[in-house]
Chain A
Amino acid sequence: MTMLPVLPILIPLLAAAACLLSWRSVLWQRVASTIGAAGLLGSAVALLVAADRRDIVAVQVGSWSAPFGITLVADRFSAVMVLLAGTMGLLVCLFSLFEATRRDIHRGFFPLLLILLAGVCGAFLTGDLFNLYVWFEVLLIASFVLLGLVGGRANIEGAVKYVALNLVGSMLFLTATGVMYGVTKTLNMADLHGALIEVQSQNPTLVLTLAATFAVAFALKAALFPLFFWLPASYHVPPAAVCAVFAALLTKVGVYALVRVFTLIFPDAEPVLWVILILAAVTMVSGVLGAVTQYEFKRILAWHSISQVGYIVAGVGLLAVPHPNVQALGLAATIVFLVHHGTIKPALFLVAGLVKWREGTTELKQLGGLASATPWLAALFLLAALSLAGLPPSSGFWAKLVVLRALVVAQEWWVLAAALAAGLLTLMSMMKIWNEAFWKDRPTDEAARGLEGDRALTNPHRIPKAFAAPVVALIVLVTAIGLWPQPLLGYADRAAAQLLNPSAYVEAVGAPPRESSTTPGDVSSIILDVEELQR
């Protein structure tokens, strides 16, 4: 029971090791990774139950007590994110049993997928800032290789952009962590709570700079405007299963880190949070405008990911409003939207994967007639697309409703207007995919079917039932959340209340009560450093 927070990291790593040991056998790799992903989901469910019942589950790895050892903590927010990772991990793994080719598997597709899942779960569960950096790097390296795995010019190009921009973000994060240690002499997140209050009274600029550096580093990972350019350049190139797991988890890790840092560590970073709120509004609109100009299935979805990150981060930005009610509503909205987007966007990417399997292309101009050819696929897409656009009764409706409710209560009318406009444009571009790929007649002109990109197949493949099963399961799940939203909404409220009351977190980790540790001399010498780095 006490080892529960270790399992979501350990199980995928063990499964990855098993895959590496059975490197030559495609069958064994498939079996081991499916078992590993299922085990991850099982441990995530157990963790969620434990975290919801007992509030916060904390483990000191190696029994080194709190501020010295590495702490793993699962509060309600962490637990629901791990559950999201587990669910997506299993479904994507099942989908990949068909989609990943023998060549991909021989190049290590399954171990990489499992290491990515372990890294994501580690980032969600760690209670130490430097350890968070390490898990970020673990998941980044796995995602780098997954992105470039298939080869081909587009993949390599996408990978170069993704790698370069994300590494800049990592360096910023590392530098900020170093400065944080210099200021507070600790990196344990529970121990950091309250550590900055005294520093702030002496040197508010330093704390603000530190908060801004963390915000920029995490906003880059979360793909917030104007730091999102790695996302549309790379998300659409890998196979659909990889797209799905990226869309479900990568930006979410950045958002998770933003929430964690700004609820637990920075007591009073209002200016930074206002900037985040404004950027969230700009992100919603710029992402959706990018999507409107696209004519390729997966590129449209990638741009929508950016727009949706705006909705998610708007709730974090509402922490700037100094009113506990608004803050709780904002955080609850963030959590609901994270879960909604973390399930719906992979579903859409997997639908795109099925279309690609059947037709050999995802260029909308080359597609057509899918609604009459495969009515069930059309129905799946329509359910998911309407949920993304936020039409009732779907998970997207509730997610958008709680975000808008928080914005109304906070009286942030401009952000509200941006959210509504972005919602309309989302509906419009979903309808574009529907019209082009599903509703219009299949283009008969040979020239139109193979002008650019991948050439459409003349005789479409049949989609095996087992291949479509994970997609069906995912869309059933999303629809179930839409029809029966109360468990999720209630859980999000409880999780938000817990985030806004960090003393319980500190107590569960067992960090010693704070005493003044930094001398004014220390602080003034550090500030020179910070100014240097910011230049």
Chain B
Amino acid sequence: MFLVLAITVGVLFTCGLYLMMRRSLWKLILGLLLLSHGANLAVFVSSGLTRSPAPLVAVGESAPPDGAADPLPQALVLTAIVIGFAVVSFTAVLVRRATHAVASDDPDRMRSTDT
């Protein structure tokens, strides 16, 4: 299972980078989305995949039971998903304005600030 998820992360990164390098700003957004999913998945599986009890502290105890799942990657990935969502939404709005300003979604036409 770990191998399958690892390969999935690789595929997400490959597709994301491929889409970002296409000559279309809409594909750029999709590419960013895939990249961010790939990174999130990598964080999520970083502590391994185990069938463990939830890390809940029982009443009267001071620590979760032995062998409980590691809650940190889930907390991290939740933060990362929220950030990724916000960033991609912003990019979508920006790209919409850009395609209006340039009247094209081809990045090759956006050269006025290049050198």
**Which A positions have Cβ atoms within 8 angstroms of B?**
130, 133-134, 137, 140-141, 144-145, 148, 152-154, 156-161, 163-164, 167-168, 170-172, 174-175, 177-179, 181-182, 185, 187, 232-234, 236-237, 290, 293-294, 299, 303, 522, 525-526, 528-529, 532-533, 535
Q: Which of A157, A167, A175, A535 contacts B101 (CB 8 A)?
A: A157
Interface residues in B42-66 by Cβ distance below 8 A to A read 42-48
Give the complex CA separation of A65 and B46 in angstroms.
23
Task: Identify which of A140, A145, A154, A178 gathers the most chain B CB atoms within 10 Å of its CB.
Answer: A178
B20 touches A234 (CB 8 A): no
Within 8 Å CB of B83, what residues of A? Answer: 134, 137
Nearest-CB distance from A512 to chain B (Å)? 15
Lowest 10 A-B CB distances belong to which pairs?
Answer: A532-B10, A178-B43, A182-B46, A178-B46, A174-B39, A157-B110, A178-B42, A171-B39, A153-B101, A529-B6
CB-nearest residue of chain B relative to A131?
B79
Does B94 lie within 8 Å of A148, measured CB to CB?
Answer: yes
Q: Are B73 and A529 in contact (CB under 8 A)?
A: no
Return chain B residues, CB-CB under 8 Å to A133: 80
Least CB distance, A367 to chain B, in whole angstroms? 19
CA distance A303 to B115 in the complex (A): 10
Instruction: Please judge, given known A-B contacts A168-B35, A181-B43, whether A174 and B80 are in contact too, CB under 8 Å.
Output: yes
Instruction: Contact check, B9 vs A532: say whether CB atoms are below 8 A apart.
Output: yes
Using Cβ atoms and an 8 Å threshold, which residues of chain A touch B28? 164
Bound-state CA distance A156–B96 (Å) is 10
Contact A157 B10 (CB under 8 A): no
Knowing that A159-B98, A164-B28, A178-B39 touch, tell me 13 more A-B residue pairs with CB under 8 angstroms.
Answer: A130-B76, A141-B86, A141-B90, A145-B90, A148-B97, A156-B94, A158-B113, A159-B94, A161-B113, A167-B32, A175-B42, A187-B72, A532-B10
Q: Could you mark each residue 78-115 of chain B with 1 if its beta carbon is under 8 Å from any beta carbon of chain A, else 0?
A: 01100100110011001101100110000100111111
**A140 nearest CB neighbor, chain B only:** B87
A130 smallest CB distance to B (angstroms): 6
Whether A160 pairs with B32 at a CB distance below 8 angstroms is no
Q: Is the CB of A181 within 8 A of B6?
A: no
In chain A, what residue has the closest Cβ to B17?
A: A168
The secondary structure that dominates the B interface is: helix
Q: Are A181 and B47 neighbours in the complex by a CB distance under 8 Å? A: yes
Q: Are B91 and A163 in contact (CB under 8 A)?
A: yes
**Provided the pairs A175-B38, A528-B6, A529-B45 are in contact, do residues A181 and B72 lie with their beta carbons within 8 angstroms?**
yes
**Known interface pairs A137-B87, A175-B43, A522-B48. Does A533 touch B79 (Cβ–Cβ under 8 Å)?**
no
B residues in contact with A299, CB < 8 Å = 115
**Which of A137, A159, A167, A290 has a CB less than 8 Å from the CB of B115?**
A290
Residue count of chain B within 8 Å CB distance of chain A: 49
What is the distance, in angstroms, from B86's C-beta to the closest C-beta of chain A? 7
User: Which of A141, A160, A236 has the largest number of chain B CB atoms within 10 A?
Assistant: A160
Residues of B within 8 A of A (CB): 2-3, 6-7, 9-10, 13-14, 17, 20, 25, 28, 32, 35-36, 38-40, 42-48, 70, 72-73, 76, 79-80, 83, 86-87, 90-91, 94-95, 97-98, 101-102, 107, 110-115
A160 in contact with B47 given A148-B97, A171-B38, A528-B6 (CB within 8 Å)? no
A294 close to B115 (CB less than 8 A) = yes
CB distance from B42 to the nearest CB of A (A): 5
Cross-chain pairs A/B with CB under 8 angstroms, 25 sampled:
A130-B76, A137-B83, A144-B90, A144-B94, A153-B101, A156-B97, A156-B98, A157-B98, A160-B94, A160-B98, A160-B107, A164-B20, A164-B91, A167-B35, A167-B87, A167-B91, A174-B42, A178-B46, A179-B46, A181-B72, A182-B46, A232-B115, A290-B115, A299-B115, A532-B13
- Cβ-defined contact, A182 with B48, below 8 A: yes
Q: Using Cβ atoms and an 8 Å threshold, which residues of chain A touch B6?
A: 528-529, 532
In the complex, what residues of B have CB within 8 A of residue A236's CB?
A: 113
- Known contacts A167-B87, A535-B13; is A181 also within 8 Å of B110 by CB? no
Interfacial chain A residues near B36, Cβ < 8 Å:
167, 171
Name the residue on A nearest B97 (C-beta).
A156
When the two chains form their complex, are residues A237 and B113 in contact, meaning their CB atoms are under 8 A apart?
A: yes
CB contacts (< 8 Å) of A157 on chain B: these are: 98, 101-102, 110-113
Selected from B94, B95, B102, the residue in CB contact (under 8 A) with A153 is B102
Q: How near does chain A come to B107, taking the closest CB pair, in angstroms?
A: 7
How far is A405 from B25 in the complex, measured between Cα atoms in Å?
47
Contact of B73 among A148, A174, A181 (CB under 8 A): A181
- B77 to chain A: closest residue by CB: A178
**A145 to B, closest residue via Cβ:** B90
- The interface residues of chain A lying within 8 Å CB-to-CB of B114 are 232-233
Which residues of chain B have C-beta atoms less than 8 A from A171's C-beta?
35-36, 38-39
Establish whether residues B79 and A134, one from each chain, have CB atoms under 8 Å apart when the complex forms: yes
Flag if A160 contacts B72 (CB, 8 Å): no
Q: How many angstroms from the CA of A157 to the CA of B28 in the assembled complex?
A: 14
A104 CB to closest chain B CB (Å) equals: 16
From B3, B107, B112, contact of A154 by CB (8 A): B112
Q: Across the interface, name the chain A residue whose C-beta is closest to B103.
A: A153
Q: State in angstroms the CA–CA spacing of A181 and B7 once bound together.
A: 19
Chain A nearest Cβ from B21, distance in angstroms: 10
Nearest opposing residue in chain A for B79, CB measure: A134
- The complex places the Cα of A137 from the Cα of B113 at a distance, in Å, of 24
How many angstroms from the CA of A294 to the CA of B87 in the assembled complex? 33
Asked if B10 contacts A174 (CB within 8 A), the reply is no
**Which of A156, A174, A294 is the one whose CB lies under 8 Å from B43?**
A174
Contacts of A144 in B (CB 8 A): 90, 94
